[in-house]
């Protein structure tokens, strides 16, 4: 008889956010998570509704099988049945985000008789005025076998939104450690054609209002008065980019602030290695992947004292926590780091140590492997119990 190894269950990751041909950065952290599972010998595939013009219904992206299930080609009933068939090929369904599609994935997972892990991030558990969304979210919380949150602050938001406290746990994100790691600042600067004597500040992320980048640009106006040979590098795209570029010109920071837009991951790792300090001025935050990438690259951190930031940055140990929307305090802390080489080195070492102790890839994946294994075992016991009842003529 063929024996199924329940210690190595097959995992189906389901998310409405996933990279596609027209936006390679959409939900890229979920793709990185799938790759991480594969590296740790976990059989994983992805089901997503995310589709670009050149994407096929089935493809393999960086060794990860991806099914793009979009209802335009099928009736809704056939579409739902198709997803259910895909779900039944796996032992555990892992849904990311409790949005409308995420709630539907949770429901289909349970109707397919599969245990469901639901990972919430932050935006998906913020207060909402939509009664329909609130009801769907509440139902998904009740149906999920286990709920994981990317930070304690996100867990608190989830519980306030209706997630059962007893089955909601924290599993922190991790960086892509094959790409982001400590490296030679001199080599990185030469590769990027940056002056070795410059002091470099770095921001990476979406240029949207909640990221607070305008406060960082305003802070840099003060920074250059104390650290004249300095440069702020801003990496990322978003609705605020044109306004931020205009602000930069208006306050006389042309040549002192550099906007790079989207760049390759390989190039991004060089900018982390080339920088002296990483700055995240968010107005609110879940558990920012960019903080973990910067810490895995051994960078000092300055971040606002909000959400998951305060779980990641230890004030005066690997950097500073500052008040949100406060350019004065932000510039003061940036200058303090940029003018002190010893502080840059010690904060950088501590960042890497804290990352390895609290947020490393092994810890994240091992926690999920334990969850998957436990749920798969429970599923097998339930199936065995149902078979025994049928043998005795019971319903």
CATH code of domain 11-174+361-391: 3.40.50.2000
Helix axes 241-250, 213-226, angle to 10 degrees: 30
**Which pLDDT tens digit goes with each residue over 239-251?**
999 999 999 999 9
Q: Provide mean pLDDT across the span 29-54.
A: 93
Give 44 or 74, the one with higher predicted confidence: 44
Tell me, what's the pLDDT at 79?
A: 86
Give the pLDDT band of residue 74 (cuts 50, 70, 90). Answer: low
58 contacts 65 by C-beta, under 8 angstroms: yes
Give the pLDDT band of residue 388 (cuts 50, 70, 90). Answer: very low
**Which pLDDT tens digit goes with each residue over 327-343?**
999 999 999 999 999 99
Across 15-24, 194-203, 265-274, 318-327, least confident range: 15-24
Element (H, E) at 218: helix 213-226
Q: How many other C-beta atoms can be found within 10 angstroms of the C-beta atom of residue 228?
A: 9
Whether the per-residue pLDDT at 385 is higher than 50: the answer is no
Provide, rounded to the nearest whole percent, the portion of the chain with pLDDT above 90.
87
Whether the per-residue pLDDT at 52 is higher than 80: the answer is yes
Across 79-83, 151-155, 288-292, least confident range: 79-83
Tell me, what's the pLDDT at 3?
A: 39
Non-local CB neighbours of 103 within 8 Å, separated by 6+ positions: 136, 137, 139, 140
Structural domain boundaries of the chain?
Answer: 11-174+361-391, 185-357
222 contacts 328 by C-beta, under 8 angstroms: yes
Q: Supply 239's token pair.
A: 């609705």
Q: Supply 197's token pair.
A: 């004597």
186 contacts 340 by C-beta, under 8 angstroms: no
The pTM for the full model equals: 0.91
Strands (E), the chain: 11-15, 44-48, 58-61, 64-68, 92-96, 116-120, 146-149, 168-170, 199-204, 230-235, 257-261, 277-280, 301-304, 319-322
Q: How far apart are the first and last CA of the chain?
A: 26
Please indicate whether the domains covering 11-174+361-391 and 185-357 agree at the CATH topology level.
yes
Non-local CB neighbours of 346 within 8 Å, separated by 6+ positions: none
368 contacts 37 by C-beta, under 8 angstroms: yes
The CATH fold of domain 185-357: Rossmann fold (3.40.50)
């Amino acid at each position: 008889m063929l024996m199924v190894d329940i210690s190595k269950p097959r995992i189906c990751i389901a998310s409405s956010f996933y990279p596609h041909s027209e936006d390679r950065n959409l939900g890229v952290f979920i793709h990185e998570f799938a790759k991480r599972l594969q590296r740790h010998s976990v059989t994983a595939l992805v089901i997503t509704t995310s589709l670009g013009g050149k994407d096929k219904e089935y493809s393999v992206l960086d060794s990860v099988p991806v099914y793009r299930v979009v209802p335009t080609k099928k009736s809704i009933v056939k579409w739902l049945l198709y997803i259910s068939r895909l779900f039944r090929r796996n032992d555990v369904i892992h849904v990311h985000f409790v949005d409308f599609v995420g709630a539907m994935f949770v429901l289909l997972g349970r109707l397919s008789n599969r245990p469901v892990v639901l990972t919430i991030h932050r935006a998906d558990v913020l207060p909402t005025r939509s009664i329909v969304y609130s009801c769907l979210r509440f139902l998904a919380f009740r149906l999920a076998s286990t709920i994981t949150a990317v930070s304690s602050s996100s867990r608190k938001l989830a519980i306030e939104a209706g997630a059962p406290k007893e089955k909601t746990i924290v599993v922190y994100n991790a960086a892509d450690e094959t790409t982001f790691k400590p490296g030679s600042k001199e080599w990185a600067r030469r590769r990027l054609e940056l002056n070795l004597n410059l002091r470099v500040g770095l921001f990476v992320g979406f240029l949207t209002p909640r990221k607070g980048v305008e406060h960082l640009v305003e802070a840099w106006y003060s920074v250059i008065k104390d650290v004249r040979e300095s440069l702020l590098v801003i990496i990322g795209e978003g609705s605020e980019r044109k306004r931020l570029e205009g602000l930069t010109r208006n306050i006389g920071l042309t040549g002192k602030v550099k906007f790079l837009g989207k760049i390759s991951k390989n190039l991004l790792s060089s900018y982390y290695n080339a920088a002296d300090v990483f700055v995240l001025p968010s107005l609110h935050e879940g558990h920012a992947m960019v903080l973990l990438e910067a810490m895995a690259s051994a960078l000092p951190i300055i971040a606002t004292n909000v959400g998951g930031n305060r779980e990641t940055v230890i004030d005066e140990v690997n950097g500073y926590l500052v008040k949100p929307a406060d350019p004065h305090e932000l510039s003061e802390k940036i200058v303090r780091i940029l003018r002190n080489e010893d502080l840059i080195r010690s904060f950088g070492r501590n960042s890497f140590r804290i990352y390895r102790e609290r947020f490393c890839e092994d810890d994240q994946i091992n926690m999920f492997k334990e969850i998957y294994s436990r749920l798969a075992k429970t599923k097998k016991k339930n199936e065995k119990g149902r078979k025994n009842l049928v043998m005795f003529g019971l319903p």
